[in-house]
Amino acid sequence: MVLAAGGLVSFLISLWLTRGLTFHGDDFLYFIANRGFDFRVLIGPHNGNLIFVPRLLYAVVLALGGVRDYIVFRLLEALGVVLAAALFFALARRHI
C-alpha cells in the first residue's frame, strides 16, 4: 500500500515538474528519422548507444496519435519512473 501511494505521489510530482516542457534535441531527430517499425532502424545505434525502447515508444506514439501534445511523452516518462521503482522494490524485497 505504501509503494502504491509513493508511486502515485511520484507520478503526480513528475507530471508537475515537466509541465510546460516541449520537444527538444533528440526528439526532433526521432521524428525526422522515424521509419515506423523498421527493425533495423529500431536497433540502430544513436550516438553509439542502443536505444531500442525509446525508439519503439516514439514509433508507437507517432503511429497512434502523432505529436499534437507532449503530454503523451510526459505520461510515459512518469509511468517509467513508477515502474522502475516497483521493479526495484520487487527485486530488493527478495534479498532483504
Q: How far apart are CA 16 and CA 79, in angstroms?
A: 13
Which pLDDT score is estimated for 84?
A: 92
pLDDT at 33: 65
- Alpha-carbon distance of 82 to 11, in angstroms, equals 7
Specify the amino acid at residue 69.
D
* Tens place of pLDDT per residue across the chain (96 aa): 888 898 899 999 988 998 887 777 776 676 676 666 777 777 777 777 777 887 788 778 877 777 777 788 888 889 989 999 999 999 998 887
What is residue 43's predicted lDDT score, i.e. its pLDDT?
Answer: 77
